[in-house]
Amino acid sequence: MTTSRPFTLGAVAYDPKVVTIWEGFKTWFAGCEFAFDYVLYSGYEAQVKGHLAGQVDITWDSPLAWVRTRRLAAAAGREARAVAMRDTDQDLTSVVLVRSADSLADAADLTGRTVATGAIDSPQSHLLPMAHLASLGLDPGTAFRIRRFDVMPTKHGDHVGGERDATKALVDGEVDAACVIDGNQLLFAKEGTIAAGAVRVLTRTPPYDHCTMTVLDDADGAAVDRFVELLLAMSYEDPVVRPLLELEGLKAWRPGRTSGYEQLEAAVDRLGFYGADGSITAEGYPP
């Protein structure tokens, strides 16, 4: 794509800090003589559409947004590429937590029980753990009840609120299990939502990857290369960029990879969230 606009990134406004982050990066890129701007979308579905429509040159995508972008692109005979991600996006796991005092011994014991999840479109707190339980022979919604905490749907679970509410429901005895990402389990322990020793891990998903910088095949290759080069050059030891990296939750950027999305692709198919062509097939979504 040849345009006169600065290299423009799409990001989802899941929190006010998103403005701080991208304003800060914009200033930092300007210092590197790289013309950069950003557009904020209210949700990932709008961002994916905007990307396909050429509104932006690159998107900072949730893993689910990557899956949809890839499918929509493929259906249109195009190609999507994952070009960069955070060090903290690689090899994550999700856990199904239960109360330590409960007698549940393995996943099969969830039969007839209630499992709390985050938002319907949260990969880490809904899609991946539901698909994981399904792979263990438990059909979600049939073998066990699902209590979803739909905080900010279309933001793909970026907002931690859904997982926190699910965990509180577990601790308060309202549900029998709760699905969260491993890093949030540590966070909830640290902030006191989970008392030491109060919960245990019943089962854990295999490792998967999280967010990615996505480009389509019509992006300006030189600009993409320069953008990625600058991302990878950001150092946590740089006091100007460190606060931004802290807000974005990383110590270093890494080159993109797609090997960590196979599990989510399978989960999306298993749960019927998107069609093979990237169409939305999940019932009641978006609300």
Partner 1 sequence: MSAPRHVRPLDRGRSDAERPRLELGPLGFDGGAHVLVKLALTECAGGTEVVVRGTHPELLADLRAWCRQQGHGCTPVGPDVGVAAVRRGRAAGARSVGAERAGHAIATEPGAVVARPPPGWGLAPRGALVEPGGPAPDFRLADRDELWTERAESFYEQATATQWDPAVAIDWSQPVVHGPAIERAVVQVMTFLVENEEAALVVPARFLGQVHPHFREVQQVLAVTVADEARHIEVFTRRATMTGYGPALSTVGGRASLQSLVDEPDYATAMFLLSVMGEGTFLSLLGFLERHAPDPVTRRVAQLTRRDEARHVAFSMAHLERHARLQPDLRARLARAVEHRHQALQQTSGLNDDVFDALVLLAAGEEDPASIAHGWQRVQDLQRDMAEARQGRLVRLGFSPGEAETLSSLHTRNFM
Instruction: Give 105 or 222: the residue with its C-beta nearer to partner 1.
Output: 105
Q: Name the minimum Å distance from CB 251 to partner 1.
A: 3
CA distance 197 to 189: 9
Q: Name the minimum Å distance from CB 157 to partner 1.
A: 17
DSSP 140: B
Instruction: Give 107 or 223: the residue with its C-beta nearer to partner 1.
Output: 107
Q: Where does 219-277 show beta strands of DSSP type E? A: 253-255
Instruction: Give 206 or 286: the residue with its C-beta nearer to partner 1.
Output: 206
Task: Report the DSSP beta bridge partners of residue 177.
Answer: 115
Task: Using CB under 8 A, list all residues that contact partner 1.
Answer: 87-88, 90-93, 95, 182-183, 185-186, 189, 194, 196-201, 204, 235-237, 239-240, 242-243, 249, 251-252
Instruction: Give 252 or 280: the residue with its C-beta nearer to partner 1.
Output: 252
Q: Name the minimum Å distance from CB 59 to partner 1.
A: 23
Q: 82 Cβ partners below 8 Å, 6+ apart? A: 66, 212, 213, 214, 256, 257, 258, 261
Return the SS3 of 169: helix
Compute the half-sphere exposure of residue 149: CA atoms within 13 Å on the CB side of its CA.
25
What sign does the dihedral 255-258-261-263 (CA atoms) show? negative
Q: Name the minimum Å distance from CB 221 to partner 1.
A: 30
CA distance 225 to 221: 6
Instruction: Give 47 or 94: the residue with its C-beta nearer to partner 1.
Output: 94
Instruction: Give 181 or 268: the residue with its C-beta nearer to partner 1.
Output: 181
Q: Name the minimum Å distance from CB 201 to partner 1.
A: 5
CA distance 148 to 271: 15
Q: Name the minimum Å distance from CB 10 to partner 1.
A: 26
Assign 3-class secondary structure to 102-116: CCCCCHHHHCCCEEE
